[in-house]
Amino acid sequence: MKNTDHTTKQWDARFFLMAGGCMLINTLCLWARHFSGYQLSILWPAIPAIIGLGASVLGLYALYPRIVLHTPRLAKWGAGFALSSLVALSIGACWVIASALLGDATRGVGMQALIGVFMIAMVGAFICNAIACLRDPASRALGLALSIPVVCWSLMLLVGMLYGAEMGLSLDFYTNGLLALAFVWASRVIRSDTVVGSQVA
């Protein structure tokens, strides 16, 4: 049982580390695309973002067994939101790839609706998990790390509501770098908890 818990926590850390690395690549690609006059294909920043955000959702799922012990209701809501965001992300990824191959159709109403569902569900998943971790004194550092994406996405939603969806989404030039740092921080916190737990065991 101890070996299983140790392995699970290692996967928590790996998923968030993968997410952080991919979001850093995404940020670099976004800026490279901007400075190249948008001649660089949208796939270059989109692919690492899809992988990174998908990995962060998997990281939340891997955290579920620990969170459910303290706040079962928040854990269930978080899992439901995460599943919804993962479904929207998967559909959106297929849409982006198909649009790049068959023609640019990523600015239609359908894509905007998918982005909206994904962002709301993702924010909800991180809110539930962040609050659950903040309630546990032993997991507050992880809760703070998970709160950074909540702030970033909330800001994007607010700007999008006030100034339009494109303006809100354009903040990813800056917020995705913060997401990368938050995911790496979460990975380090989980990894340090794993080391301490194995030494105590």
| CB 68 within 8 Å of CB 75 | yes
For the cut 80, the answer to whether the pLDDT of residue 160 exceeds it is yes
At residue 92, the pLDDT reads 79
Phi, then psi, of 68 in degrees rounded to 5: -65, -20
Overall residue count recorded for the chain in this entry: 201
Distances (CA, A) of 28 to 25, 35, 60, 93, 108: 5, 11, 25, 19, 26
Q: What is the pLDDT of residue 106?
A: 55
Residue 94 buriedness (CB in 10 A; 0-12 / 13-18 / 19+): exposed
- Look at 71-85, 94-108, 122-136, 146-160 and tell me which has the smallest mean pLDDT: 94-108
| pLDDT tens-digit series, residues 172-191 | 899 999 999 999 999 999 88
pTM for this structure? 0.81
Over the stretch 30-76, which tens digit does the pLDDT of each residue have?
A: 999 988 888 888 878 988 998 999 899 888 988 888 788 888 899 89
